Chains A and B, each alone.
Chain A
């Protein structure tokens, strides 16, 4: 259960150690990609907790969302319309929803556990 968190920390440390810098003009794409990755990650967690987790959906969603977001941002830059805001909005909303669902699931789990303990 703690492995993903360890993985996250390893990823951050790796990223920090490599000292890779992306040119300013591409930081928009990366930020939106990060957002998409977060969305997928939390979506995956939620699905796991709801027991509807499908690995194929998860992994493909991860890469597909990132690519879609980046290409949307690219299209927006080329068209002169801030299309990446649409992606930010969509991912942001979904992120909140996912987190809310996760919180509720965790809360119910926690309360049922408590009840169980009290019953015992």
Chain B
């Protein structure tokens, strides 16, 4: 009776089971391909692999070289930045000679006013110089040297035994030259125009001194500060400290 039917269902299930077994068999046992190459083919394959290895090695080497180059470039750039910063700071502090646009002022006795027999004014008072410096600084002067002596932040101008001294350098005789450097030509021009009408000229004249102002020069040389800068009350802050 249902023999046919039973057979059919059995067959169906058997097909399914067989299918599953086959798949499982294939999954578990990966086809082991027999190696049928002879020794020369093997050598060839080995050679090929070695070539691949060497090419890979050279690739690695080139990449490492590149990496090293990048690394050194990076370091150099860091160093360069530091050097640049240091140079900038040195220029700002005034320990380097600078060639910038600027003007030259000349302080000389007023010859017409010298009366015969009267002593010639041979000194320029520190107050006058300070006023002049203040005025110059007001007009954006950046680098100033008086009588070849560079003026920096810590420079003192004072009277010692009736001799005007700038950081220990005595101004013994007139005329003296004041070199003023600025950042660019327009500023130099501006400085020149302002100095021409400044009160300093009159103040110098009261003391029988003439302040003559030269035309703006695109390239004046302001000498470097030649002493060592002593820093007594400054110390570096600790990194990461509370600020």
Contact = CB atoms under 8 A, between A and B. Distances in A.
A, B from the same assembly: yes
A33 to B, nearest CB: 6
Interface stretch (A19-27, A83-91, A101-109): A19-27
Interface in A4-33: 4-16, 18-22, 24, 27, 30-31, 33
B26 interface: yes
Contact of B22 (A11, A33, A58, A62): A11
Given A3-B7, A4-B7, A27-B27, A15 B22 contact: yes
Contacts, number: 107
A53 B9 CA distance: 12
B17 A11 contact: yes
B19 A12 contact: yes
Q: Is the interface of B mostly helix, strand, loop or mixed?
A: helix
A98 interface: no
B21 interface: yes
B27 A10 contact: no
Contact of A14 (B2, B5, B15, B27): B15
Nearest to B18: A11
Given A12-B18, A30-B27, A55-B6, A6 B11 contact: yes
B23 interface: yes
Contacts of B26: 15-16, 19-21
A12 B22 contact: yes
Q: Is the interface of A mostly helix, strand, loop or mixed?
A: helix
Interface residues of B, number: 25
Given A11-B15, A37-B16, A44 B10 contact: yes
User: How extensive is the interface on chain A, given as a class?
Assistant: 35 or more
A59 B24 contact: no
A34 B10 contact: no
A48 interface: yes
B18 A33 contact: no
Contacts of A58: 9, 13
Contacts of B9: 55, 58-59
A38 interface: yes
B10 A3 contact: yes
Interface string A33-68: 110011011001100100001010011001000000
Interface of A: 1, 3-16, 18-22, 24, 27, 30-31, 33-34, 37-38, 40-41, 44-45, 48, 53, 55, 58-59, 62
11 contacts: A9-B18, A10-B18, A11-B21, A14-B18, A15-B22, A15-B23, A27-B24, A27-B28, A44-B10, A55-B9, A59-B13
Given A34-B21, A62-B13, 6 more contacts: A7-B15, A10-B18, A15-B20, A15-B21, A15-B25, A59-B13
Interface of B: 2, 5-28
Nearest first, the 7 closest Cβ-Cβ pairs linking A and B are A11-B18, A15-B22, A7-B11, A7-B14, A11-B15, A12-B18, A4-B10
